[in-house]
Chains A and B, each alone.
Chain A
Amino acid sequence: GAGVSQSPRYKVAKRGQDVALRCDPISGHVSLFWYQQALGQGPEFLTYFQNEAQLDKSGLPSDRFFAERPEGSVSTLKIQRTQQEDSAVYLCASSLGQANTEAFFGQGTRLTVV
């Protein structure tokens, strides 16, 4: 596709439920990022992949959060045993992977934990 695609657009989960969020990056983009955006805040870095390698996961808030990109293309962010504080918009971005190149963002998945 022409841009970064994320699914689902909206997800409502009951507290304690596991969720999986999908990201399809721009074809050929080496780098893939996940960000979390809470209401009224800027996006905050969660994790970064270069191809299939997860090079930085320093932003993942707890061990309930797990991300993968097994074939270096599509990525999945999984949240286990969701909590109310996990409610946020989860943004995926991809880039060519070269220094000082902009990242292109998807529309995000709005997760609401009830």
Chain B
Amino acid sequence: DQQVKQNSPSLSVQEGRISILNCDYTNSMFDYFLWYKKYPAEGPTFLISISSIKDKNEDGRFTVFLNKSAKHLSLHIVPSQPGDSAVYFCAASFTGTASKLTFGTGTRLQVTL
């Protein structure tokens, strides 16, 4: 049973435009959410996180939005750059479990020139 879902396996966006990556979760006990970025042949790299007490967290070009009632979060990248092309994983955890993460299946973002 997939507790964290990324329903779009791929997304293509033009350079300079906004990229929006979506993630849904089913377990209402999750209270901490993270986005990881992964390049081929490398491990996932932490990008941004959000606690369930917030509905938005921003870091430079990256903003994560959390809608607890809908059990939905999204990652916005503005403006998108070719170097952003990678696979993005959404992950969720429970407070108190250190970093035991439940991952989605990933969305491959391609930023075109």
A: residues with CB less than 8 A from B are: 4, 6, 31, 33, 35, 40-45, 48, 50, 56, 91, 93, 95, 97-108
Residues of B within 8 A of A (CB): 4, 6, 32, 34, 36, 41-46, 49, 51, 89, 91, 93, 95-106
Residue among B44, B102, B103 with most chain A CB within 10 A: B44
Taken together as a complex, chains A and B put the C-alpha atoms of A7 and B17 apart, in Å, by 39
Residues of A within 8 A of B42 (CB): 107
Q: Which residues of chain A come closer than 8 Å to B104, judged between CB atoms? A: 42
- The answer on a CB contact under 8 Å between A42 and B46 is no
Are B89 and A102 in touch, CB under 8 angstroms? Answer: no
- Asked if residues A99 and B95 are in contact (CB atoms below 8 Å), the reply is yes
Report 7 cross-chain contacts, Cβ distance below 8 Å, ordered by A residue. A4-B43, A42-B104, A93-B43, A95-B99, A97-B98, A100-B51, A103-B46
A44 with B103, Cβ < 8 A, contacts A50-B98, A99-B98, A100-B32 known: yes
- In the complex, are the beta carbons of B105 and A102 less than 8 A apart? no
User: How far apart are A47's CB and chain B's nearest CB, in angstroms?
Assistant: 10
Residue of B nearest to A104 (CB): B46
